[in-house]
Structure 1
């Protein structure tokens, strides 16, 4: 199976890291790339983007597994300032999204300030010089402001299963797909039934001689309303002023209609839950399999999934859904614990783990050190991730996190959130310039009030009351991942920078409020 690649020419390489920049951005996915483009558009050209990969794209560069596609409508999955009239379908496949990001970066003219294959080892605030000292694999650079665009879906998490290191067949994570593996006629197992797994399983079912799918919790899966755009539609998107924005607005407000059922009253999920249940009943004929895949929690409590071919794949004669708990992985297969206490080994040739990412323990947080020398991970260790407006953190001057704590979405596109945070950052830069500020960081009390309000609101959401345990929750049982209100509210709250909530300083004075 050949690797999925974007059909673009190689990207230019930065000759060497500059000694100092005003803004240093970590990551080149939607968050990092969007920040770079908007900085340039605002007149700020003194920035650098460092990216550990060899190309832009973030998760859409790395996730090249068979069937990879977006589960948010294409019209919402682009920057508002760079619409894409060329989407082939209403839900975009991975190669198209990656091509879109590469093309957008190239056309924006920002790639001369990107340093690829550059990993951040350490970023520490220097209180004396009031700069960030960032040590990378390509050298050291200082910056007035540090922006992290390293999202929560960047570092794959392997399952903590005894014996996984002893497996002698081919083993890989869905986000690190081994395209050299020939899966035709192989005995394959997939651990996980989340968003990636339900896209992978139908493709593997077409290739494998036998496929085992290991399910811990049955997810809710709704029909995928996917279709190819007609030539007339694509021509209209390209030539008719405002048509594509009209499509986009209609889809956006349709998605926002889901917000009350997610964030205020889970009982409002009854209708979409009924649609999903009928989808299940139409797709699976075997009563026992139907029982196994029927969810036991309110829809939306875990990530809502969409697929038209996952259930039929499970219903195939050569596919088994395994719900017995995994006891261990052996050199030749997976051993499960049966209901009567005995164990059974299922032999396999290939093991695919689709077990998600480090979403509540962000890897980048272990490399960013604030004013007192503690890392972000240390600051968050006791009570979980928190930030002010999901973007700035007390004790970390001149630091902005795009896609920070409690900014995730359970119903719509993260690009809307990303653009809201970028607007907040740009307005902060404007205020710094107008007032001659050299540093700013949110007051601890302002950050605490913000997060206390979020957690109070979180009590009413389906993610808290829906009867499930999900990757949205951290080890303390707190949802520090998702935004518990509408994206309209988020944009309004981040429309302009609010210096009254910040400790600030100027070049000639100490900290002030």
Structure 2
């Protein structure tokens, strides 16, 4: 590979987009399995890290145990806590990327990608030129595009506005009157961190969330030393935590009638930490626990009861004086922080990928993403979409889904090479059948039946985000390639680059 960090070759065999968990998993797997191929990754930012680079707001941390939050080929025995902090996870991913050397081009965003059927390759336009590739592996992450509500009066507001994933560190919150819009996973981490520094904090809550204790602990030096010197002990802990987290699937997807166990835990924490009955009612959800993402925190309820905090309803508009809630009350604020999550059912990259018919992936999905096994889409040959539709988890680490996806892409490429083939495209029938089965399985889960409105549902009302069962089932499925579900082909004999087809 060229040494200059921004130099792009004219063509490679495989191009990976993104250097978060998914992109790094794919790059490592492909380089390991296909050392003779030209494989390159591009990353829009100046360093690796994905969502853990972008989300550096106060208190940012993971709600999945660190035992499960590392790539299998790069175990980390040095986590400081049982739930990882943002800076540690970012540094971990940067370290993994460094091990891959000069196979990653940074500050090189994908701008457009188009399938050329005549040459059977992808033509990818980036910030630093055009690169052609046989196979395109996109790993943009599901939580990469901030979701900001379009509020009336936004142009009239004279203060500072930003999203939690675009935190303005140069904007000191000390002594300010701050609005936090949202009461989800980001808000419950931010509020306890800033509440003692601001003059007043107004929390705009549309819907209360189920909160359960975060059983976090410091991992001492002795324990970390044991993990470094005895990797088997580290693997054993990972296996035990994995089995424990898989049990959650039984509650959420297989036996939702057992969810009162989790409800009791949530209610006990609320009862213990919030003595005021009126406030407790406002913080009690009216839907089944697990329907939305459960929040792990011990600090949220105490923070809301500080003297300088106001908990109010959903935000309705902004004015020159501040922010107006759903009851029409104006709250004087000078800073608005949107802790409003992301847009996983409308990934921005989908608008920049043009398939066999010339339509973009966004056009093809038309507001309702679907894919075969979460990675392949009819009409888009030789494309693998990591962390695609219906591969998100409600119980465990997404790393456990990303690595099988990376291995699957490698397996498909190996299948083609062994048979002298060049193109692969899932059939419409196979994709439809796969998703019909998914919808049936999701139908009985708490995500579909729990009575809440969540970001799991797309514009057409389909749950196009969640995986409905155990991660082991997904891993087993992804260990095989079903050729009959695909159209396989060769580069036309007249193609200009026929002599360069990979084998």
Partner-residue secondary structure (3-state), 2:399: helix
Specify which of 436, 442, 453 is matched with residue 458 of structure 1.
442
**How big is each residue's C-alpha offset from its partner over 1:68-127, in whole Å with a ceiling of 9 and x where there is no partner?**
000000010000111100000000100000110111121x2x231211111211100000
Shift of 1:301: 0.4
Task: Identify the residue that residue 326 of structure 1 maps to in structure 2.
Answer: 315
1:61-460 to 2 correspondences below 5 Å: 61-106=53-98, 108=99, 110-323=100-313, 325-338=314-327, 343-381=328-366, 384-460=368-444
Counterpart position of 2:500: none
State the alpha-carbon separation in 2 of the partners of residues 244 and 137 from structure 1: 41
Q: Does 1:41 align with 2:41?
A: no
**Taking structure 1 as reference, are residues 445 and 184 closer, same or farther at Cα in structure 2, changes over 3 Å only?**
same
Structure 1 residue runs of 5 or longer lacking an equivalent are 1-11
Q: CA RMSD in A?
A: 1.3
Residues of 2 paired with 1:167 and 1:406: CA distance?
A: 38
Taking the aligned partners of 1:509 and 1:466, their CA distance within structure 2 comes to: 55
Conservation of the 8 A alpha-carbon contact between 2:118 and 2:491:
no
SS of equivalent to 2:196: helix
The answer to whether the 8 Å contact 1:74/1:89 transfers is yes
- Contact 2:119/2:492 (<8 A) preserved: no
Matches of 1:214 and 1:15, distance apart in 2: 44
Distance of 1:209 and 1:317 partners within structure 2: 10
Total equivalences in the alignment? 491
Q: Deviations over 1:295-330 (max 9, x none)?
A: 11111100111001011000111111102x433101
Q: Deviations over 1:145-185 (max 9, x none)?
A: 00110011111111121112322111110000000111111
Worse-superposed segment, 493-502 or 174-183: 493-502
Which runs of at least 4 in structure 1 moved beyond 6 Å after TM superposition? Answer: none
Secondary structure of 2:124's counterpart equals strand
- Note if contact 1:436-1:507 (Cα within 8 Å) is conserved in structure 2: no
Q: Are the equivalent residues in 2 in contact too, given 1:438–1:505 (CA < 8 A)?
A: yes
In structure 2, list runs of 5 or more residues that go unmatched: 495-503
Distance 1:508 1:184, change over 3 A: closer
Partner SS for 2:263: helix
In structure 1, what is the Cα distance between the partners aligned to 2:82 and 2:306?
A: 27
Q: Is the Cα contact below 8 Å between 1:34 and 1:79 reproduced in 2?
A: yes
Q: Distance in 1 between matches of 2:493 and 2:451?
A: 53
Shift of 1:334: 0.6
Q: Is the contact made by 2:18 and 2:50 (CA closer than 8 Å) also made in structure 1?
A: yes
3-state SS, counterpart of residue 206 of structure 1:
coil
Match of 1:50 among 21, 28, 42: 42
Pair 25,73 (structure 1): closer, same or farther in 2 beyond 3 Å: same
- Matches of 1:13 and 1:314, distance apart in 2: 51
Query: Contact 1:133 / 1:143 at 8 angstroms: preserved in 2?
Result: yes
Does the 8 A contact of 2:369 with 2:464 survive in 1?
yes
- Alpha-carbon distance in 2 for matches of 1:509, 1:394: 24
- Deviations 1:460-507 (Å, cap 9, x if unpaired)? 010111010100001111100010111111001101222121100124
8 Å Cα contact 1:130-1:438 kept in structure 2: yes
| 1:441-469 C-alpha deviation (Å, 9 max, x unpaired) | 11110000000000011110101110101
For residues 265 and 509 of structure 1, the distance between their equivalents in structure 2, rounded to whole angstroms, comes to 55
